[in-house]
Each structure stands twice: as C-alpha cells, then as structure tokens.
Amino acid sequence: MNSIPNIAMNNGVEIPQLGFGVFQIKPEETAEAVAEALRIGYRHIDTAQMYQNEKEVGQAIAQSGIDPAEIFVTSKLNNNRQTFDDALAAFDETMTALGLEQLDLFLIHWPLPTVRDYVEAWRALERVYSEGRTRSIGLSNFQPNHVRKLLAETEVRPAVNQIELHPYLTQDELRAFDADHGIVTEAWSPIAQGLVLNDPTIGQLAQTHGRTPAQIVLRWHIQLGNVVFPKSANPQRMKENFEIFGFELSDTDMGMISALNRNERTGPDPDVFDYVPS
C-alpha cells in the first residue's frame, strides 16, 4: 500500500496530505464510496454539513473495522449556522451524525463577509477546540483580509485554509500568505472538477511519465505541499487518484504546470459569495 505523507499543522497535529472528498456524492451512495476509499487505503475524509452526507461517512467508518483514531475526518460549519450559539449546536449535530467522540478538523466553510460574522463563529470553534472535542480548527475560502481580521480579534490560529486551487487557479499569493502565517493550504477541486485533465500540457506530461492526467495534477499538488482530497464516485478513479507516490515531477515539469494559471475559478468568489441556506 502507498505510504501517505503527513503534514504537521501549527498545533502539532498531523494531517494526511492525501484524502478523499465527498462533495456531490449523494447521501445514499456515500457510505459505499467511503467504504471503498477506506479499502483502497485513504485515511482522510473531507465532508461538510452542507454536503448532507456526514451520517453516511460515519456509518462507513463505523463499519470499516478500522480504529476511528486512524482516520482523519474534517467537517465544516454550514453557512446558516454562523452565530456563537448556533455554531455550537451545529458542531454537536455534526458529532452526532458522524458518531465520533472527537473530530480531527472543523472549518468555517465560507467567510460570507457581507452577511455573517465569522469572528463570532470562530469563537464557537475555539470553544469546542479548547474542550478537546476537535483536534484542530480552521478556515475555508478565506482571503488574506478575512484571515487578518480573525487573527487580530481572536486567540487560536487557524490550522488550515481550504481554498479552490488547481493548475488554472494556482493561488500563489494566497498560498504564500497562508505559509507566512503558519497555516496549511488545502486545495479544493484539485483537478478543477475534471476541467484541467484535457489540457495539452498535462496530457504531454502524462505521456512522458506513463501516468494519467489526474495523477500528474495531483502529484503537482503534493510536491507543492498542498493537502488534497479529490472526489470520485468511481472505484477505478479513486484508486488512480491514490497512486501518486511512486514518481516525481521535475522542477521543469512543475513550472510547466504552474504556468497554466489563468486565475480561473470553477466555484464562487469568496469576497462576494453570500449564499446562506434557509
């Protein structure tokens, strides 16, 4: 089995650099998908309250026969729960749904800078962290101005910032900002939901290395130091995405992929995104 490297976060807790994402996996298909991912060897699952499949993630973990302490689980606070009391209640609901004693990482899903107060929500995350109910807390989709405000007004430094990041959106400045502040960057939509896989440069590198386009892109993330959790509902592709540790991209290869940047998002812009489910 592949050995997945861990990255130490700023509180010393280690996160496996490769995980499995369950966004857009239907609840009724999630338990089987996560069970398959665990059979392949994934030990890091990325879910969210918004995905409505935490319960099924928990079922797959419980039925896997694997010690839950060996599986790194992340979930995220939904956009409609960003007050102190609501965030505490939402965290309780996540733990009940997952059926876990302790979570590994809990994130604020979106900053919602125009409609909500992420500082107040963060204080709730600090509370559950101080109680030991989650081993670490972090952010998702935060821009530098949001992080700066949080650092100025709160106590606990975020462990990660989970942002959209792939060869068409390399996020060099935000990655550097995170690194300067001791925050690990996690890359969501690491293959841009498939968009980058038909790129001729990626295709050329895939041919050179005898790998698939997805493996080339995921390997690029690993060598940059990003944490990634590609989603696939297909066992063959889940396995393909897991087999990215037996080869190395050269500096030239890395540069060719990074040069594909065109600041193109597949998802919303965090500075203006204000979706709050009813």
Ligand X SMILES: NC(=O)c1ccc[n+]([C@@H]2O[C@H](COP(=O)([O-])OP(=O)(O)OC[C@H]3O[C@@H](n4cnc5c(N)ncnc54)[C@H](OP(=O)(O)O)[C@@H]3O)[C@@H](O)[C@H]2O)c1
C-alpha 153/C-alpha 246 separation (Å) is 44
Among 56, 104, 178, 240, binds ligand X (CB under 6 A): 240
Asked if 214 interacts with ligand X (CB under 6 A), we say: yes
Given strand 227-228, what is the order of strands in its sheet?
20-21, 44-46, 72-77, 105-108, 137-140, 160-164, 184-188, 227-228
Instruction: Single out the segment in contact with ligand X by CB under 6 A; choices: 53-61, 81-89, 95-103, 183-191.
Output: 183-191
Asked if 52 interacts with ligand X (CB under 6 A), we say: no
Q: Give whichever of 19 and 124 is closer to ligand X, judged by the CB atom.
A: 19
- CA atoms 130, 84, 90, 73: torsion sign: negative
Nearest position to ligand X, beta carbon:
21
Asked if 226 interacts with ligand X (CB under 6 A), we say: no
Q: Give whichever of 65 and 245 is closer to ligand X, judged by the CB atom.
A: 245
Q: Is 51 a catalytic residue?
A: yes
C-alpha 15/C-alpha 213 separation (Å) is 25
Among residues 54, 17, 3, which one has the least CA distance to residue 226?
17
Q: How remote is the C-alpha of 87 from its chain's centroid?
A: 20
Among residues 259, 21, 262, 55, which one has the least CA distance to residue 162?
21
Instruction: Single out the segment in contact with ligand X by CB under 6 A; choices: 60-68, 84-92, 177-185, 226-234.
Output: 226-234
Asked if 192 interacts with ligand X (CB under 6 A), we say: yes
* Per-position x/- string for 9-48, each x denoting binding to ligand X as judged by CB under 6 A, each - no binding: ------------xxxx---------------------x--
CB of 160 to ligand X, least distance (A): 10
- Inter-axis angle of helices 235-242 and 27-40, to 10 degrees? 40
Instruction: Single out the segment in contact with ligand X by CB under 6 A; choices: 143-151, 201-209, 229-237, 250-258.
Output: 229-237
Among 190, 219, 222, 249, binds ligand X (CB under 6 A): 190
Tell me 169's DSSP state: B
CB of 39 to ligand X, least distance (A): 16
For ligand X, the binding residues in 129-158 under the rule CB under 6 A are 140-141
Asked if 19 and 44 touch (Cβ cutoff 8 Å), the reply is yes
For ligand X, the binding residues in 83-122 under the rule CB under 6 A are 109
- CA atoms 147, 151, 155, 160: torsion sign: positive
Asked if 220 interacts with ligand X (CB under 6 A), we say: no
Q: DSSP string spanning 30-54?
A: HHHHHHHHHHHT--EEE--GGGT-H
- Tell me how many residues contact ligand X (CB under 6 A): 28
Residue 273 has, within 13 A of its CA and on its CB side, a CA count of 14
Length of the chain: 278
Among 113, 138, 167, 230, binds ligand X (CB under 6 A): 230
Q: Give whichever of 198 and 252 is closer to ligand X, judged by the CB atom.
A: 198
Binding stretches for ligand X (CB under 6 A):
21-24, 46, 109, 140-141, 162, 188-194, 197, 214, 229-234, 237, 240-241, 267
Q: Which sequence positions are flagged as catalytic?
A: 51
